[in-house]
């Protein structure tokens, strides 16, 4: 019997589209893998086997009728619990939203279905999707499948842990401050944060977000191979008129020189030796593939990170503080208090000044990418953190947020970023981050494929048990 759960999404889709396997066969195998692997990591927190099999049967029926089933035909995917999926609760890791059932799909979910993907289940996130760790009072604690003593990342920790363990070939994630890139890094897989406006996403069951969320939050894929990222990204990015920010930009941009800037410690970031070694190894891999790599400072990230936090907290300060009090999640309450302490509340003019400065930072970064089409920098200054480090003390929280400078600073400009896993330090994954200009995910994927080709951790893995 074929273990489809071990196969990449590209191979599964080829088998199903070519009539060499049925989507129902693949779905049954994926459900068996979920039952076997999920208890150790608690990555998938909501699934309906009958619904999954019915979706797979619809793919097979389309093929039987001679119809195109879609580029992701039969590929098992997971969906993060902070986006609407018909018939399921959009909990966002919250007890107060445990019964908040969606009656309409988020565009990113609808696009995956239209591409023939089969939804396997919904993945965990910390309360309010707030942290780079993954525990909440409703769904419990997600563990890293490589090593339960380290974080699986957050907020898309469930998506990355599931993907690494072979529970689905692709995981859907969201990213407003690293929530795709960091979990991919922590779980030894790849994660793509697309450009603002690239992937349509909107929760019909909630009010529209304020300007900070609109400018910085995106949906994107987590996968075990770069080719799978590309397949899922193209499917997710299909037009949906419900997303006003969506831009009909070509998926392949004009030719660009293979030139990358390497920055080990942006703006004085104290990058750990193991992370520096991974960056220099990735640079050498790019050079072996014909890229020119030169060390160069990056445009600002610290001030964009400050403005990012100000915009995000403006949303929570206006409409979510009551929800924080009602939920009374100790992790979320502590982290939110630390963030508020580090980011004083602005007045109207301060808020306007932040938005004005954003334009200048976008300009500065776009000019930088004219000289260096790709940048190579840390995903985090540290190896994946000990689990729950951020809630140990205010000092521990400040250590965490300092290490995550490149995670928090990038979204303000709406730029894309790609976390590429490169290896292991013992049982702890390590990797690098690639950055490029707006709508140049093609360059990120090109560079990411060159790095991947020289070796990455073997996945999927059987979860380690603590």
Cβ-contact 167, 27 below 8 angstroms = no
* Catalytic residue chosen out of the listed positions 22, 129, 179, 380: 179
For 364, counting Cβ atoms within 10 Å of its Cβ (0-12 exposed, 13-18 middle, 19+ buried), the class is middle
* Catalytic residue chosen out of the listed positions 22, 129, 155, 219: 155
Known active-site residue 179: yes
3-state secondary structure of 226: helix
Cβ-contact 260, 447 below 8 angstroms = yes
- Identify which of 449, 405, 191 has the alpha carbon closest to the alpha carbon of residue 309: 405
Handedness of CA 282, 284, 290, 295 (dihedral sign): positive
Spatial separation of the C-alpha atoms in residues 27 and 3, rounded to whole Å: 11
Question: Measured in whole angstroms, how far is the alpha carbon of residue 187 from the centre of its chain?
Answer: 11
Q: In which region does residue 198 sit, left (phi positive, over 0), alpha (psi from -120 to 50) or beta (all else)?
A: alpha
CA atoms within 13 A on the CB side of 250: 5
Known active-site residue 155: yes
Start-to-end CA distance of the chain, whole Å, equals 30
- Identify which of 312, 321, 307, 317 has the alpha carbon closest to the alpha carbon of residue 352: 307
- Identify which of 257, 312, 304, 261 has the alpha carbon closest to the alpha carbon of residue 282: 261
- Identify which of 431, 419, 379 has the alpha carbon closest to the alpha carbon of residue 191: 419
Phi, psi angles (nearest 5°) of residue 441: -60, -25
Cβ-contact 206, 187 below 8 angstroms = no
Spatial separation of the C-alpha atoms in residues 466 and 463, rounded to whole Å: 9
H helix and E strand count, the chain = 16, 13
Catalytically annotated residues:
80, 155, 179
């Amino acid at each position: 019997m074929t273990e489809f759960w071990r196969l990449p999404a590209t191979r599964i889709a080829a088998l199903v589209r070519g009539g060499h396997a049925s989507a129902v066969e693949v779905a049954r195998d994926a459900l068996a893998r979920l039952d076997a692997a999920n208890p150790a990591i608690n990555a998938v927190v909501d699934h309906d086997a009958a619904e999954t099999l019915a979706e797979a049967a619809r793919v097979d029926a389309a093929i039987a009728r001679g119809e195109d089933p879609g580029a992701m035909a039969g590929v098992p995917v997971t969906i993060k619990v902070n986006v609407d999926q018909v018939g399921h609760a959009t909990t966002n890791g919250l007890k107060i939203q445990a019964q908040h059932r969606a009656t309409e799909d988020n565009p990113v979910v609808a696009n995956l279905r239209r591409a023939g993907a089969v939804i396997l289940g919904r993945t965990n996130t910390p309360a309010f999707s707030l942290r780079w760790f993954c525990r909440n009072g409703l769904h419990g604690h997600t563990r890293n499948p490589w090593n339960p003593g380290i974080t699986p990342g957050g907020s898309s920790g469930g998506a990355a842990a599931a993907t690494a363990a072979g529970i689905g070939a692709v995981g859907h994630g969201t990213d407003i401050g690293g929530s795709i890139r960091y979990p991919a890094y922590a779980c030894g897989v790849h994660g793509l944060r697309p450009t603002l406006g690239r992937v349509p996403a909107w929760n019909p069951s909630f009010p529209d977000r304020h300007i900070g969320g609109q400018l910085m939050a995106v949906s994107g894929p987590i996968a075990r191979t770069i080719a799978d990222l590309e397949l899922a990204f193209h499917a997710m990015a299909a037009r949906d008129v419900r997303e006003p920010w969506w831009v009909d930009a070509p998926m392949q941009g004009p030719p660009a020189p293979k030139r990358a800037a390497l920055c080990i410690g942006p703006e004085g970031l104290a990058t750990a030796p193991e992370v520096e070694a991974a960056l220099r190894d990735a640079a050498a891999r790019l050079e072996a593939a014909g890229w020119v790599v030169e060390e160069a400072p990056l445009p600002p990230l610290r001030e964009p990170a400050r403005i990012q936090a100000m915009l995000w907290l403006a949303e929570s300060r206006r409409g979510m503080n009551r929800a924080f009090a009602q939920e009374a999640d100790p992790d979320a309450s502590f982290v939110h208090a630390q963030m508020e302490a580090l980011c004083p509340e602005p007045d109207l003019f301060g808020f306007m000044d932040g938005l004005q400065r954003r334009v200048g930072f976008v300009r500065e970064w776009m000019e930088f990418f004219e000289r260096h089409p790709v940048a190579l920098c840390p995903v985090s200054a540290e190896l994946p953190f000990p689990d729950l480090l951020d809630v140990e003390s205010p000092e521990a929280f400040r250590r965490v947020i300092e290490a995550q400078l490149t995670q928090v600073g990038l979204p303000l400009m709406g730029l894309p970023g790609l976390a590429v896993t490169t290896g292991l330090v013992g049982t702890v994954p390590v990797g690098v981050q690639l950055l490029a200009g707006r709508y140049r995910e093609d360059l990120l994927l090109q560079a990411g494929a060159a790095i991947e080709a020289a070796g990455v951790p073997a996945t999927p893995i059987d979860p380690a048990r603590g």
